[in-house]
Amino acid sequence: MDIDRGPPASTSDRAPRTGTFALCSAPAAVPRGAASLAPNRIVPLPTLICLAFATGIIAALAGRVELRVSPRPALLTRSFMAYMVFATLVLVPIAVYFYVFHGDWFLLYTVDVNRIPSALALVGFVVLAMIGAAGFVLGSVMVRGQRDTLGMLLVVLAVIGAVGIGVLARDRLMVVGTFAQYEGNFGLEDFSDGPLVQGAGLMGGILLVGILALVARLHVSGRRGD
């Protein structure tokens, strides 16, 4: 005996999906202010790494007077000590700020920061400072070899790389949220509408002022022979 089951239920009559599947299938709103994402406010980790390397070379170029007359290794010069003060008080705190308050965005949503052990994050901050130190050592070699132009070329290339990363990762950087929100494509905020834009602008300004202060300090110290 055939039982009349009736017409199949329509999509609208079915119970809505809940949980993870519903979150993953929910479409994200299109950001309204995406076009206002300014390259000079983009400071994700890869960009900061490029800038750390560039500032190391810049510090060596600014301290060329001491590096050329001092018989000491580059890592024992006052110029290097000044750079490490900059890295400790400016560079690393900026990285810590973005990691703590906007960690998933800072890492370009490549990994969930909640899964990163604190010890590993601490090692990452140390590595960032070491990258800057490596830039200083490389810059000092060029300064002592009378190859300042090559050093400036490397600085330009590093800055271009920093900007290029922001351009290539624009789709990721124009939205702000957690790793789960990005992967599930839900609940993301526009970069220009959230608090990150103010934080990024402030951190970018602090970084610029820090670099200028470092260069001025090394330049004046070199002229005085300190």
Q: Establish if 21 belongs to a structural domain.
A: no
pTM score, whole prediction:
0.78
CA angle 115, 169, 155 (to 5 degrees): 105
pLDDT digits (tens, 9 = 90+) for 62-121: 999 999 998 999 999 999 999 999 999 999 999 999 999 999 999 999 999 999 999 999
Q: Establish if 19 belongs to a structural domain.
A: no
Q: What's the structural domain count of the chain?
A: 1
Confidence class of residue 27 from pLDDT cuts 50, 70 and 90? very low
Q: Establish if 90 belongs to a structural domain.
A: yes
pLDDT digits (tens, 9 = 90+) for 169-213: 999 999 999 999 999 988 899 988 888 889 999 999 999 999 999
Confidence class of residue 29 from pLDDT cuts 50, 70 and 90? very low
Q: Establish if 102 belongs to a structural domain.
A: yes
Show the domain range for 157: 39-224
Q: Establish if 199 belongs to a structural domain.
A: yes
Q: Establish if 24 belongs to a structural domain.
A: no
Give pLDDT, residue 42.
Answer: 64
Q: What is the mean pLDDT of the chain?
A: 83
Q: Establish if 28 belongs to a structural domain.
A: no
Q: Establish if 151 belongs to a structural domain.
A: yes
